[in-house]
Amino acid sequence: MDKIREEIIRENYKIVCEKIEAAKLRSNVKGADVTLLAATKTVPAEEILFAINELGLPAVGENKVQELLSKYDALKDTVPLHLIGHLQTNKVKSIVGKVDMIQSVDSERLAREIGKRSLEAGITTKVLCEINIGREENKSGIMPECTGEFLGLLSEIGGIEVAGLMTMAPVCETKDEYKKYFEKTYAIYLDFFLNKGHNKIETVLSMGMSDSFEAAIEEGATMVRVGSSIFGARIYPEK
């Protein structure tokens, strides 16, 4: 990687971190910590390693299993790796044991397969329940009103540990529009996680991307998934 590219990523990362800190000061949830997870779809492993080793990037998320596996040898034993995109049941066996968290659990079938493969490997896999807060037909995730029933089902499946919630808001024109969706998601998170005194694990509310992470933090996100604001626009390989 050339020096110009390094400086671009360095400056972008600095700006994102500054925006995160400013948003935390504006947040309705004072004192909450926020983890920056880099969404690294199409980003070369060498650039991700630069962000980890030189800039202090704390976590990495990949959308697709195949791409995660292609970078796994380079990224393993560095920072927590998350699967943040839609996960097909037949791909579960390929990543269980390789990721620290699967953020996109939205069906009993998927959850049971993760649990099964985790038990076979002698591990427990942390998962997030994905909520379709915008009720969009073209997006995955459970409906908000089904959260309680679904979390109850997940709690009975061995091999997984439900660590919180994840959502993808619809594309919005303004920050205030985004905030309405994030506020609704935070209310669900509050009901099912923060108000439960028996919780012993550190829970996660993963919401907000490059176009919306500041609004997400202001409404209580504990993790934001930022890609293009750090690494620039995604460059897709020619087919």
Domain-embedded: residue 166 = yes
The pLDDT of residue 200 is: 54
Q: Per DSSP, what are the bridge partners of residue 204?
A: 164
- The confidence score (pLDDT) of residue 57 equals 98
- Cα gap 196→194, rounded to integer Å: 5
User: What's the pLDDT score for residue 31?
Assistant: 72
**Taking the complete model, does pTM exceed 0.85, yes or no?**
yes
Taking CB atoms within 8 Å and a gap of at least 24, the contacts of 191-198 are: 192/147, 192/148, 192/151, 192/165, 193/164, 193/165
Tell me the sheet residues that pair with 161. 126
Q: Is residue 235 part of a domain?
A: no
Q: Is residue 189 part of a domain?
A: yes
Report yes or no on 170 lying in a domain. Answer: yes
pLDDT for 51 equals 98
Is 19 part of a structural domain of the chain? yes
Task: Point out the residues of the chain with pLDDT beneath 70.
Answer: 196-201, 234-239
Domain range enclosing 12: 3-230
pLDDT of residue 172: 94
SS3 content of the chain, % helix, strand, coil (to 5): 45, 15, 40
The reply to whether 181 falls in a domain is yes
Question: Residue 239 falls within a domain, yes or no?
Answer: no
- Total of domains in the chain: 1
- 13: tokens are 């990362």
* 192 found inside a domain: yes
Identify the three-state secondary structure at position 139. Answer: coil
Residue 199 is predicted with a pLDDT of 52
CATH of the domain at 8: 3.20.20.10
